Amino acid sequence: MGNHHRSFELTKKQNQLRESFKQLIAGPCSAETREQVLATAKEVSEIDELTYFRAGIWKPRTAPGSFEGIGAEGLDWLKEAKHEYGVKSITEVATPEHVEACLKAGLDALWIGARTTVNPFYIQQIADSLKGVDIPVFIKNPISPDVGLWMGAIERFKLAGISDVSVIHRGFFSYSKGVFRNPPMWEIPIKVKTEFPDLQIICDPSHITGDSKLIEEVSKFAMQLGMDGLMIETHPSPPKAWSDAKQQVTPIHLKEIVNAILLNKSDSDISHSEIERMRKDVDGIDTQTLQEIAKRMLMVKEIAKFKKENSATVFQHERWKHVLEESKKKAKELGLNEEFVEDLMNLIHKESLNIHHTIYNS
């Protein structure tokens, strides 16, 4: 009886989580052949959480000569997949001509790629081409971590009358070589969510990681952050893919990832009250931290006044170098990330210089 009751409760929890898993967008990076599109659609259609079947028709590639998409012909394959397997289809558009072709083919949703989001002129042209057509639009973040560009794109589509606007977080370009292809910089989508509380944010772990082996880990974290779903590139035979082979998963692997997320969430039994208690402790520490920073800035004002009265130099490079080195040493002693502490001290120093500037020019 006890095991039966636990099984019932677990199933109930998983059903509730499926409702919170608002979007699952899956399919190949590129539509390559009719057979490949239909084979992928057949397999992913068996995943209950699937919302849209994705496939790139026009592919913006960095180097000429690489595969740049099959073109409008692929739209017929998406229509056939919908007819055969009941999957709603979505693809990337970058021009009003792309929009017109997709609407004519009866696609169910559109997404705007990262290379397009960076250009307000392109965004406005696409938004204008959709006036009077209320179709779901998903906007990927711009390549660079520019919150203003991303939010501006959202506003342009809303002003065009698109009521169903969502965004896709696919990470940001970085010159440094790290674990991820595109570092996620999670604070940026969180800031966008703060500005647009009702906006759905979908995570694209395929482009963040660039590696199918890391997709489950990033997907789990994204969902724990409260994101509304995932866009995962899925191919029946990833090694044979014509584009982004390394970051695509098989439909079977996709199902395993979704199940792992549901199980991971349903097994979490930390009480809400305990989390709230810990959060209150953190809030108290935050208040103390701000009070200490305020005291520091009062001292900075006194120092700035003294320097002005005595015609002393505002900035002393050796002094600042010493402060930074000592802060990094203390960070190491306290088990803090040295890069984080350096960034924090630079922010505090920037505000200190602003205070000096104000006082010297008053």
Report helix, strand or coil for 313.
coil
Contacts of 290 (CB under 8 A, 6+ apart): none
Q: Which parts of the chain sit beneath pLDDT 50?
A: 1-2, 5-10, 267, 269
Q: What is the pLDDT of residues 132-169, one digit of tens each?
A: 999 999 999 999 999 999 999 999 999 999 999 999 99
> Can you spell out the DSSP letters for 11-58?
HHHHHHHHHH--EEEEE-SB---HHHHHHHHHHHTT-TT--EEE-BSS
Architecture, CATH, for domain 2-266? Alpha-Beta Barrel (3.20)
Q: Do residues 169 and 189 make contact, with C-beta atoms less than 8 angstroms apart?
A: yes
Question: Rounded CA gap, 167 and 202, in Å?
Answer: 6
Q: Do residues 112 and 143 make contact, with C-beta atoms less than 8 angstroms apart?
A: no
What pLDDT score does 65 carry?
74
Q: What is the 3-state secondary structure (H, E, C) of 127-169?
A: HHHCCCCCCCEEEECCCCCCHHHHHHHHHHHHHCCCCCEEEEE
What pLDDT score does 250 carry?
98
Contacts of 242 (CB under 8 A, 6+ apart): 30, 32, 67
Q: Which CATH number fits domain 273-360: 1.10.3720.10, 1.20.59.10, 1.20.120.1200, 3.40.50.920?
A: 1.20.59.10
Q: What is the pLDDT of residues 294-346, one digit of tens each?
A: 999 999 999 999 999 998 888 888 989 999 999 999 999 999 999 999 999 99
What pLDDT score does 16 carry?
52
All structural domains of the chain with their residue ranges = 2-266, 273-360
